[in-house]
Amino acid sequence: MFRAFENLVDPFASVHQAPPRATLRAYLAQQLAPYRKWLPLMFATGVLTALMESGLIFYSGRVVDLMAETGAGAFWAQHGREMLLALFCVLILRPSLVGLNHLLLEQTLSSNLQEQVRWQAHRHLLGQSAGFFQNDFAGRLSNRVMQMGPAVQDSVHMLFEAVLFAVTYMIGAVVVLSQIDWRLAVPLVAWVGLYAVYVRHTALNVAATAEKWSDARSAATGRIVDAYGNIETVKLFARDGQEQAYALSALRRLRTRYQRFLRMMTRLAFGSIAINGVLILIVVAPAIWLWMRGAVSVGEVAAASALTIRLNGMSGWILWVTIRLFENMGVIREGLRSLSAVHEVTDAPEAKPLEVRRAEVRIEGLRHHYGNTKGGVNGIDLHIPAGQRVGIAGPSGAGKSTLINLLLRFRDPEGGRILIDGQDIREVTQESLRSRIGVVTQNTSLIHRSVRANIMYGNPGATEAEMIAAAKRAEAHEFIMGLRDQQGRTGYDAHVGERGVALSGGQRQRIAIARVVLKNAPILILDEATSALDSAVEEAIQKTLLDVMQGKTVIAIAHRLSTIAQMDRIVVLQEGAIAEDGSHAELLARQGVYAGLWQRQAGAAEQVPEAV
């Protein structure tokens, strides 16, 4: 039975939609869309449950009056059938109604909504450009994703289970007291109005405080995770104390924000008790006065007193629920700052998969300055025929990395275009574009999984034999077979640690190269691909890469010019534009920018440090 209600909604099957930026209400409506078929039933069972609660209290007063009127001897004879019907409602109807309400709220709604929110938030963030993640803490983003799920689920659950129940119960109480005597309902209505104003004023203050508290929590998480993610740098520079101070300042701010929140909670407790005392005075006292005047019966006084005492206890619960709701609203608003950000790079509405036949690359008038007036690339025109191996050289800041980022569509250019086999890369899907380009970056990081999973990332459909062959071509198989992690897993099953920290830089680079070899994409980008390798391994990897390059269009970025000297062609960038273009020999003969870079590197290599 539980599984049947849990499977009424599949939280992971909904079509991806960007979170709306307009209002919180619009966001909640989007998240509740998969449940729209069941929301009316949740509403109906919640209302009926609340009405039955107030009805039971009213009926208990009637039972008192019936007992007083008929006496013990005639009570069962005159009212036995009515008592059996009441017993049926209490033992069968009420549990069934409450059970159905809880199955819908907890199994159908709550068990799915939390993970649905997290999944959609995570999926939306994964669609963001690389630049988006470079401008924020990974820890803060992940904290917002994880907090959003409980905040949305808790809010919606309380709206149905608590707020709907409380509002319906209060309406029922007003109706019951009206049936007894209208003079009892009037003070209750006045109290409800005063209570609503108090709760709303309090909740708005709580929402603002909770949002600041949530923001401080995300910031503290971001700083702590940043230290863990860069623990090697922290240790290398002996900056434990600095990182402690950096995290401590965020934790102090978090403590201050939390203390302000708790102060508000304490003030609310005093205010709630005072308002509850007023409720008892303005309802129970008039009920006793009306009984003394003969206007109401003892049972009706008992019903009015019971309703008031129930409301007295419920008012504190309602206040707590409302505070939780507005606290969650603050958390959701804080999370939506990141989670509702529109994607900077998106597929065109009619984008089609990239079709690579020859792997020809043509760059026309490419311009990108990251929104500034300078930097990046400025008006590059470049034609790379299919199968040509091109080296990209130039001083730091010349635009080499910008060119590669634009080719991979990590960003869209501010002007110009890039064509692959005549197809503008902005008019094809990002997934198909990147699936046809193999990349080995300068700073390789691996996912915290097994070596096998990292290499197979290049081609999940490859066989075990193909994976091992790729590792051997990258000169990685031998050291992989000697790996053993802390859990005792060995070889290709050994885990590499977060970002691959369990391996040396050279080992990480060789696994990355094996991954690209297995991918076997027609276009290959090498960004300082052998920079982390020692000389002996570098020579072997260079031979492997030369073999891998065969039949591919290759773009290789290098500061170490010896690694691109064998390219068919070398393009030299300077201040975002092409300064020189030709073979290694041609560029040396020109005695220009490239020749100057080459001579400086050659001179540095020939220098021998003096003995100390």
Q: How many residues does the chain have?
A: 612
> What mean pLDDT do residues 168-196 have?
82
Which DSSP string do the residues of 219-233 spell out, in sequence order? HHHHHHHHHHHTHHH
- Structure confidence at residue 295 as a pLDDT band (50, 70, 90): confident
Task: Please give the pLDDT value at position 612.
Answer: 31
Burial call 294-318: b when 16+ CB within 10 Å, e when fewer: eebbebbbbbbbbbbbebbebbeeb
**Would you kindly state where each structural domain of the chain is located, as residue ranges?**
22-339, 356-436+523-529+553-606, 442-520
- Kindly state the DSSP code that residue 380 receives in the 8-state scheme: E
- Structure confidence at residue 297 as a pLDDT band (50, 70, 90): confident
Task: Please give the pLDDT value at position 573.
Answer: 92
> What mean pLDDT do residues 159-173 have?
78
Task: Please give the pLDDT value at position 607.
Answer: 41
User: Beta strands 389-393 and 553-557: pairing type?
Assistant: parallel
Between 114 and 238, where is the model more confident? 114
606 pLDDT higher than 50: no
Question: Which strands make up the sheet holding 415-420, listed edge to edge?
Answer: 377-384, 361-368, 415-420, 423-424
Task: Please give the pLDDT value at position 582.
Answer: 93
How far apart CA 515 and CA 497 sit, in angstroms, is 17
Rg of the chain on CA atoms, in Å: 35
162 pLDDT higher than 80: no
Q: Give residue-wise pLDDT tens across range 250-285.
A: 899 889 888 887 887 777 777 777 777 787 888 888
537 pLDDT higher than 70: no
- Structure confidence at residue 583 as a pLDDT band (50, 70, 90): very high
Domain 356-436+523-529+553-606 homologous superfamily, CATH:
P-loop containing nucleotide triphosphate hydrolases (3.40.50.300)
603 pLDDT higher than 60: no
Contact 117, 10 (CB under 8 A): no
358 pLDDT higher than 80: yes
Which DSSP string do the residues of 95-130 spell out, in sequence order? HHHHHHHHIIIIIIIIHHHHHHHHHHHHHHHHTS-H
Contact 376, 406 (CB under 8 A): no
How far apart CA 434 and CA 65 sit, in angstroms, is 80
Beta bridge pairs of residue 571: 392, 581
The interaxial angle of helices 111-126 and 24-32, nearest 10 deg, is 110
> What mean pLDDT do residues 45-64 have?
79
Task: Please give the pLDDT value at position 201.
Answer: 77
Which DSSP string do the residues of 155-166 spell out, in sequence order? HHHHIIIIIHHH
Q: Is 3.40.50.300 the CATH classification of the domain at 442-520?
A: yes
Between 88 and 22, where is the model more confident? 88
Pick the CATH number of 22-339 from 3.30.70.270, 1.20.1560.10, 1.20.1050.10, 2.60.120.10: 1.20.1560.10
* Average predicted confidence (pLDDT) for the chain: 83
- For residue 537, give the 3-state DSSP assignment: helix
Q: Give residue-wise pLDDT tens across range 373-410.
A: 778 898 899 999 999 999 999 888 888 888 998 999 98
Please give the share of the chain, as a percent, with pLDDT higher than 70: 93
Quick one: tokens of 475?
């000169």
- Structure confidence at residue 609 as a pLDDT band (50, 70, 90): very low
Task: Please give the pLDDT value at position 18.
Answer: 64
- Structure confidence at residue 158 as a pLDDT band (50, 70, 90): confident
Between 402 and 371, where is the model more confident? 402
> What mean pLDDT do residues 481-508 have?
84
Same fold, 356-436+523-529+553-606 and 442-520: yes
Q: Give residue-wise pLDDT tens across range 413-453.
A: 999 999 999 999 999 999 999 999 998 877 777 888 899 99
> What mean pLDDT do residues 6-31 have?
76
- For residue 580, give the 3-state DSSP assignment: strand
Task: Please give the pLDDT value at position 345.
Answer: 84
586 pLDDT higher than 50: yes
Q: Give residue-wise pLDDT tens across range 185-234.
A: 888 888 888 877 877 777 777 777 777 887 888 788 888 878 877 776 78
Task: Please give the pLDDT value at position 513.
Answer: 87
Quick one: tokens of 10?
């599949």
